[in-house]
Structure 1
């Protein structure tokens, strides 16, 4: 089989045993450094992708993708519901009534957001039903004045299903005895846990009951909308507002939680750049390896030059040798990184079981396991960048090898 002799010699130099074991050690270190850097970079970015996915599914599963509101509480929401559900790219819509308040129980007080919902339609736009620890959304009956509260809030107030809590609204009620804040006792009908800050600040009740307390019976604050692609929510919200006219306005999740996801995106970018520096350091270790190989092989280079090898051929020999180190390190590191990214959740679970220690406590973090989402686009970028840096690292030593003077190299041989 025909092989260009620069490739043949480069392969021989890579596989041959050397008298100078230090050169072999540096070569192996460079290869291991590339493998480790690529593996860690793929794994860390996959874990960050996993956290990003969990935030999208959990927080944006509870927070509306978009909302349509009138400038005053509206009572014609059924007509608006029909208009919205006929729009393309809108999956579902549901009415809601919202108010800020305080909840109290046996001396424990907490600031909350109260959402009045239609239990049947809410399940179409929210994931709350999938994260109920006790009770269901259907337990909220109109006129029963029942609430479903977050798990963290329930622990803070020390309440369970069947207990009664008092919700204090920031509106004054004038009575013969004087002016008092408006308040109402509700019965806890269920507890949810989505694993986000909403578990500590959200209470859900039937919208008819909340409307009665707020003295706007039959009216709602607006319509919650669930869209097919949440990243198209800003454009869809703008189109809806334009279509409905000036009496309505629309908002989307990017105005309420956009900063959170921008921060995650920036953090992923910065960590990716920092870890890429590890790959760069490992790749440019190839420079020192090849410089020492060139020094060790000066006599061989001189002999090749005397029998007719061109400077370009000599350069190709050492580019091949360095490229092999880079290619093997990148491929093995990529395979290890992909396997680790796909199994890191199970590995962490095994370590937690073995050590008897929970790394991600559900009482502290919004999820109790280490998520991972492997994106092949990340793998391609990481592997490609590693290969480019590895090949770039071979250019200078290979150029030095091509400039070796045969007479000087053989003078003392």
Structure 2
């Protein structure tokens, strides 16, 4: 247990460190270094948490978690397949989708369009796309007509407004010898998710898409939404192998997994790099205490002759070193938590004040700086910093117990 006298003396040594300016400077450097390391680590971890949250809720909330696609022919009996899928444990919902690849013209040439024919009744349960368009646009997709909802970036590129006509050239179901199919749509609204989807994606009614391709009541794919994203790979294979149709199976780890992998890789690199930053700052505690022990040899000798045990001497310098780490940790974690909490506002301020666009919506799946402060990260950074500070005190404090009172007093004299 900590000796109360050792705590008081260690605290007095910490407060009196300014008597030796060089020791005081090194001590302050270690405190500032620990604080900066904690601050940067907490802010960057919160930013990575924000990216992961937006990826799951925004991007992966719109794209399919898993999907079955017809290989040589469209999928028949899709209603039975959806019932089978939704009866599986871990599957939230399933929805039919008809995919069309087309070209449309803009003033300087052509641009590719990835059109999805959806049924709003099924789609609302299988994705969050309805949250990113207004009610009128979503309602238009329920009508079996030529309404189309474009991504905001695509609508801006094409320079079209609501109610205007848009011609899209689609592959002809009859084959390449028949030439492309020209389809005319009426722009009924726009959606804005963020990233590449806004610049190439569009939605139309599924029955109208089936008419264009001559599919009747068939569909080209079935998308699944699952409870746990990491179960998507196994669930889609269990479903696919249970069917007697020749189908392609894919999941989000094949189409969007690189984004999640990049976030986890950057997070790991930050852990290692900033762990080393805090470790270097804690090594300054070693330097501070080594010099403090040399500077306080006479005081140690006097305390020893008065009956203070070596264990208490050890605790004195451990308290002094840990106080450095504690002060740095408290200030660093406090400032880091404040910055992490306000990181989106800071990003918007940089954008409006200096015109610095931190993230471009045409490149990334978000156009703002996300952040999610988690208690687990605060505890992890705090414990890591204090643990390294504690380890840094062991050797200098142990050396303090080796001071010989007679020799130290003779040298002081």
Normalised to the residue count of structure 1, the TM-score between the two structures is 0.89
Q: CA deviation at 1:312?
A: 3.7
CA gap 1:193/1:18 in 2 versus in 1, 3 angstroms? closer
**CA distances 1:247-292 after superposition (whole Å, capped 9, x unpaired):** 5554321111112111111011112322222222222211111122
Structure 1 partner of 2:262: 263
Structure 2 partner of 1:288: 287
Q: Which moved more, 1:244-253 or 1:392-401?
A: 244-253
Structure 2 partner of 1:62: 62
1:150-229 to structure 2, matched below 5 A, reads 150-171=151-172, 179-229=178-228
Q: Which moved more, 1:368-377 or 1:104-113?
A: 104-113
1:20-59 to structure 2, matched below 5 A, reads 20-59=20-59
Q: CA deviation at 1:293?
A: 0.8
Q: Which moved more, 1:149-158 or 1:96-105?
A: 96-105
CA gap 1:133/1:360 in 2 versus in 1, 3 angstroms? farther
CA gap 1:107/1:350 in 2 versus in 1, 3 angstroms? closer
CA gap 1:165/1:335 in 2 versus in 1, 3 angstroms? same
Contact conserved, 1:65 with 1:233, CA < 8 A, in 2? Answer: yes
Which structure 2 segments of 5+ residues have no match? none
Q: Which moved more, 1:127-136 or 1:279-288?
A: 127-136
The structure carrying a bigger strand percent of its residues is 1
Structure 1 partner of 2:328: 329
For residues 269 and 169 of structure 2, what CA distance do their matches in structure 1 show? Answer: 44
For residues 392 and 405 of structure 1, what CA distance do their matches in structure 2 show? Answer: 24
Structure 2 partner of 1:129: 130
| Local SS of the residue matching 2:150 | strand
1:374-389 to structure 2, matched below 5 A, reads 374-389=373-388
Q: Which moved more, 1:379-388 or 1:140-149?
A: 140-149
CA gap 1:17/1:266 in 2 versus in 1, 3 angstroms? closer
Q: CA deviation at 1:105?
A: 4.1
Structure 2 partner of 1:404: 403
| Local SS of the residue matching 1:370 | coil
For residues 107 and 120 of structure 1, what CA distance do their matches in structure 2 show? Answer: 38
For residues 248 and 307 of structure 1, what CA distance do their matches in structure 2 show? Answer: 86
Q: CA deviation at 1:67?
A: 1.7
**CA distances 1:334-354 after superposition (whole Å, capped 9, x unpaired):** 23322332233344445656x
Structure 1 partner of 2:114: 113
Q: Which moved more, 1:166-175 or 1:319-328?
A: 166-175
Q: CA deviation at 1:94?
A: 1.1
Structure 2 partner of 1:16: 16
For residues 25 and 269 of structure 1, what CA distance do their matches in structure 2 show? Answer: 33
1:272-311 to structure 2, matched below 5 A, reads 272-311=271-310
For residues 208 and 31 of structure 1, what CA distance do their matches in structure 2 show? Answer: 66
CA gap 1:80/1:316 in 2 versus in 1, 3 angstroms? same
Supply the RMSD in Å over aligned alpha carbons: 2.7
Contact conserved, 2:168 with 2:182, CA < 8 A, in 1? Answer: yes
For residues 144 and 244 of structure 1, what CA distance do their matches in structure 2 show? Answer: 33
Normalised to the residue count of structure 2, the TM-score between the two structures is 0.89
Q: CA deviation at 1:171?
A: 4.1
Contact conserved, 1:93 with 1:121, CA < 8 A, in 2? Answer: yes
Structure 2 partner of 1:314: 313
For residues 108 and 164 of structure 1, what CA distance do their matches in structure 2 show? Answer: 17
Are positions 1:95 and 2:96 aligned together?
A: yes
For residues 366 and 205 of structure 1, what CA distance do their matches in structure 2 show? Answer: 22
Structure 2 partner of 1:7: 7
CA gap 1:105/1:336 in 2 versus in 1, 3 angstroms? closer
CA gap 1:361/1:20 in 2 versus in 1, 3 angstroms? closer
Structure 2 partner of 1:79: 80
Contact conserved, 1:134 with 1:161, CA < 8 A, in 2? Answer: no
CA gap 1:402/1:174 in 2 versus in 1, 3 angstroms? closer
CA gap 1:358/1:376 in 2 versus in 1, 3 angstroms? same
Q: Which moved more, 1:240-249 or 1:278-287?
A: 240-249
Q: CA deviation at 1:36?
A: 2.3
Structure 2 partner of 1:238: 237
Contact conserved, 2:195 with 2:361, CA < 8 A, in 1? Answer: no
Q: CA deviation at 1:180?
A: 2.0
